Chain A
Amino acid sequence: MLQPASARTNRLSLTFAALLTGVGCGAPPPIDKQLETLASWTATMQLAKERHGAGAITITYATQLRDRADEAFQQASTTIGQSAHTRTDSAYAAAALDSLRTAIRQLESEVGS
């Protein structure tokens, strides 16, 4: 988990990036983009688990990947609800969040953290 000072600078960074990219208008990304991002991080966790199992990546690196996936999970958890306008959207969102949570846990048990 991020420390408060890290969270503050992270927020500053995201605000600056949003201003620069012109997306600082408050609306969360569309649901399909968020689902894509969640699926991408789920696949990243699965690949990291596989590569760690094969001895190709260090625990230090796997832990960093886990932390970044966790950040993506936390971010999507707070925004995806606003983008899900139908029951089907909500069901897909819940399934995608669940898949990523499971993949993060599997990597954690693989690296023993």
Chain B
Amino acid sequence: MKKWAEVALGVVTSIGGFLEVGSIATSAQGGAEFGYQLAWVLVLGTTSLAILMEMTGRLAAVSQRSYADLLRERFGYRFFLLPLVAVFVVSLLVVISEIGGVSIALQLATGIDFRWWAIPTALVGWFLLWRGNFTIVEQGTAMLGLVAISFAVGALKLHPVWPTLGRALLPSLPSHDRARYWYLAVSILGASISPYLYLFYSAGALEDEWTIEHLGVNRVTAGMGNVFGGVLAIASLVTAALVFAPRGIKVDRYEQIALVLATPLGRAGLVFFIMTLFVTCFGSTLEIVLAIAYLLAQGLGWNWSENLKPGKDARFATSYTVLILLASLPIAIGMDPLTLTNISMVATAASLPVTVIPLSVLMNDGDLLNTHVNGWPSNLALVVIALLSVVLLVAAIPLQLLGGG
């Protein structure tokens, strides 16, 4: 019974935690400019993330070590610096964008400019991290994040053309503006397969004291949670495709996106949008800041746990304190959150090889995983994701220059 409660909680957490500033913005931009056509990218991103989460969760549950810990231990400190720096930089960019998302939500609700909300957001987030524990961070914000289901309700109320949407789940080439199409595809993939998601998941498995007995919970949580989360991201794309595309509206500013729910759901839609943006971005801010602090602490061999008092893991607590305050500054001085979101999603996509490729080695290490090493289907999936990550690395910067404007 306890196991099923954990499964339910895990799935709910994944649903609430999937949508965040990157997926909301890039899905809305994709839907506005290309209708349903980019839905297949969300399917690809969600599937890839589910596979990576299942593997990093299994690795942590069986070896009782986090992915970051094993990266340093098995590949050496010099190699570890590469993922450390890459993930640190892109995750910092993403957390700046998330604070921007929270600030925009507060601006939409109050009319007070987003710049004024960045530092208060960081201070409240820091207070929760300092005083709270892992359960509050993981489950509290994710349960509230269920308000994101309003995107699915909005999409259904707009009566999507199901056969056309079904066809869009398979890859297709654009009929116009190819550079922009592929740029948005890379952005959507960056938003879907952020390294912080599986690094946080791996550390979370240890915080929740998972063992081999939790492998079933891990599989269901990673699979079903991401499927439901992916459906919400597709719903976001569908609402934009049905509200913006027919009117020729492109998403240039975050403020425009709220119209996708205000159109099918009226005043309640506007309120749901603001709540979704606020809760999901705030939750992601806490998760990403923790993910970076975990990466530093696990990689450098410090004491770490969100469940310990800050005095017991001072360097870990100092890391998230500095990070969250640092990340609020660019928004406080007025940088455009949507521009930052787009740049950070492309940078995230480009950073994937440094965490995906080493995973293929660790998942076949019998000393770590005994009988739980990857079988050939898992290895095949991982090779495909690794190849995809290399393509993203090569394509990201040229596409940012050609299609990012």
Contacts and interface: CB of A to CB of B under 8 A. Distances in A.
Interface of A: 6, 9-10, 12-14, 16-17, 20-23, 29, 33, 36-37, 39-41, 43-44, 46-48, 51, 54-58, 60-61, 63-65, 68, 72
Interface string B211-249: 000000000000000000000000000000001000111
A63 B249 contact: no
Interface residues of B, number: 37
Contacts of A72: 252
A14 B340 CA distance: 11
Contacts of A46: 247
Nearest to A41: B252
A6 B109 CA distance: 20
B336 interface: yes
Contacts of B336: 13-14, 17
B303 interface: no
A51 B255 CA distance: 14
Contact of B107 (A20, A37, A56, A64): A64
B248 A64 contact: no
Classify the secondary structure of A's interface with B. helix
Contacts of B339: 13, 17, 20-21
B140 interface: no
Contacts of B253: 68
Given A13-B336, A16-B335, A57-B267, A43 B249 contact: yes
26 contacts: A10-B334, A13-B333, A13-B334, A13-B339, A16-B330, A16-B335, A17-B343, A22-B401, A36-B250, A39-B248, A40-B249, A47-B243, A47-B247, A55-B267, A56-B267, A56-B269, A57-B258, A57-B259, A57-B270, A58-B267, A60-B108, A60-B111, A61-B258, A61-B270, A68-B253, A72-B252
Q: Is the interface of B mostly helix, strand, loop or mixed?
A: helix
Interface of B: 107-111, 113, 115, 243, 247-250, 252-253, 255-256, 258-259, 262-263, 265-267, 269-270, 330, 333-336, 339-340, 343, 400-401, 404-405
Contacts of A57: 258-259, 262, 267, 270
Nearest to A59: B111
Nearest to A55: B267
A40 B263 contact: no
A63 B107 CA distance: 11
A32 B136 CA distance: 49
A9 B332 CA distance: 9
A50 B324 CA distance: 40
Contacts of B334: 6, 9-10, 12-13
Nearest to A18: B339
B110 A65 contact: no
A109 to B, nearest CB: 19
Contact of A21 (B108, B263, B266, B405): B405
A21 B404 contact: yes
A50 to B, nearest CB: 9
Contacts of A47: 243, 247, 249, 259, 263
A29 B256 CA distance: 21
